[in-house]
Amino acid sequence: MRRHISDGRETRIEGHAWILGTHSGRFISTCTEGNEGRFVADLIRPNCEWDEVKIDLLLLPFEKERVMNIRVSPNRPRDCWYWGFDWDIVYSVKMAYAMLLCSEALATKPNIAARVEGEFSKCSFCNSFAESSLHLFRDCRVAWWVWEGLGVEGVMEEGGSGVRDWVEVCWKGTVESKYGKFMVGYWALWELRNTVVFEGSDIDPEKVVRRMMDVLEEGDGMGTVAEGDVVGIGVVSRDGNGAVLWGLSIVRNQNWDPSMGEAVAILDGLQEVAQRGHRNVEIESGCLMVVEAL
Ligand SMILES: [Zn+2]
């Protein structure tokens, strides 16, 4: 995963992967002393141009060239995570949900409460703590059962208070192997949580762990493309305050790549928007390729 720079205020110079066109996304220059905790915004001048003097002190010439090619603008959305295009990894819905987790955009109860009126708050598993992403996937006792069952060590202690840092730490070491246990555990917890919420299922961590082991044996850890040529499209419409107005879910028998699916989702959404007579519409998409093409 990489950081997409808009104003650089939420991306660390060191520690985050943000340099385009390099394998790791991190710089390899040796002049790193004193950079701990500094943000990319420190390298950007008030007029939104890169500060070449600072960059010359910090980066190697080829790194500088790549950084200078990153467009900076305070008008773009905040710095965010995105998926670097990688031929070695099969893009999947699970990965998209991992990105939502990093962006604190999963439909956890506090996030739903911000959009829809109603009584939401407590963890769907333990009903004791607020259902934050970190609680659901790291701190809840059900999460412990799952991580321990999977034999993943250290996940519960990592990450401090930020979900992004937690995911990034846990992600390391799993991204090299296609079938990362972190992704399997994360996905299993999210599935379990949703069956508890929507189907009223009992929480049976042993069953979950058995299923995860099957998934790992099948080699589907990162999730492969769904069987058959099927694409699921989802569109959510919100008003200016973020409250949900309507949603759209369409299944199409196609074998599109994710960017094509995203582009069609935008088209479907806009057609619905036109039918409903909305004016002044902003489009949000998690697919950088499509956003830039638009
Ligand atoms: Zn809990």
Stated pTM of the model: 0.60
- Cα-to-centroid distance, 69 and ligand 1 (Å): 44
| Token pair for 154 | 């250290």
- Cα-to-centroid distance, 136 and ligand 1 (Å): 6
DSSP-derived secondary structure letter, 122:
B
User: Cα(134)–Cα(101) distance, rounded to whole angstroms?
Assistant: 9
- Cα-to-centroid distance, 130 and ligand 1 (Å): 8
- Residue-wise pLDDT for 42-91, tens only, equals 999 988 899 999 888 888 888 888 888 888 876 766 787 766 555 455 55
- Cα-to-centroid distance, 47 and ligand 1 (Å): 46
What are residue 82's phi and psi, to 5 degrees?
-145, 165
- Cα-to-centroid distance, 116 and ligand 1 (Å): 22
What integer pLDDT is reported at residue 172 of this predicted model? 62
- Residue-wise pLDDT for 105-158, tens only, equals 788 888 777 777 766 788 999 989 989 888 999 999 999 888 888 887 667 776
User: How far, in whole angstroms, is CA 163 from its chain's centroid?
Assistant: 10
- Cα-to-centroid distance, 122 and ligand 1 (Å): 8
- Cα-to-centroid distance, 145 and ligand 1 (Å): 12
CA 224, 222, 14 angle in degrees (round to 5)? 135
Report which secondary-structure segment, H or E, holds 159. none
- Residue-wise pLDDT for 88-114, tens only, equals 555 566 666 777 777 777 888 887 777
- Cα-to-centroid distance, 139 and ligand 1 (Å): 7
- Cα-to-centroid distance, 166 and ligand 1 (Å): 17
- Cα-to-centroid distance, 121 and ligand 1 (Å): 11
Reduced to 3 states, what is the DSSP secondary structure of residue 178?
coil
